[in-house]
């Protein structure tokens, strides 16, 4: 199982990075490979390689704003949630992503 994710809040500060940390921790607890790109006040950090996107099973957008270069992900199933959801309950976000690909 492989997940790629983008986190971005309106201010591009704390919540962007808190969501990324939460998703990484939740995925690690399940031995799921995850690559998280943050799109915050510092610009795009940890940009996901196209090869990682291509081999991902699902994409998570934990965002409250537009995702830059969204077209990179267009052929993948995408779960979109608010940043706060990934901050408060990243494990539930991972569950929703897994359910999305079971359909």
CB-CB contact of 76 with 21 (8 Å) = no
Return the active site residues.
9
50 vs 25: CA distance, rounded Å: 23
Which element (helix H / strand E) includes 69? none
Residues 6+ apart with CB under 8 A from 58: 3, 76, 77, 78, 79, 97, 98, 100, 101
């Amino acid at each position: 199982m492989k997940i790629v994710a983008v986190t971005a809040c309106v201010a591009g500060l704390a919540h962007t990075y808190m969501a990324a940390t939460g998703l990484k921790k939740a995925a690690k607890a399940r031995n799921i490979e995850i690559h998280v790109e943050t799109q915050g006040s510092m610009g795009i950090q940890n940009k996901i390689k196209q090869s990682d996107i291509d081999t991902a099973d699902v994409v998570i957008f934990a965002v409250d704003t537009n995702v830059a270069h969204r077209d990179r992900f267009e052929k993948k199933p995408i779960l979109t949630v608010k940043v706060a959801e990934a901050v408060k309950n990243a494990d539930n976000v991972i569950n929703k992503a897994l359910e999305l690909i079971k359909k």
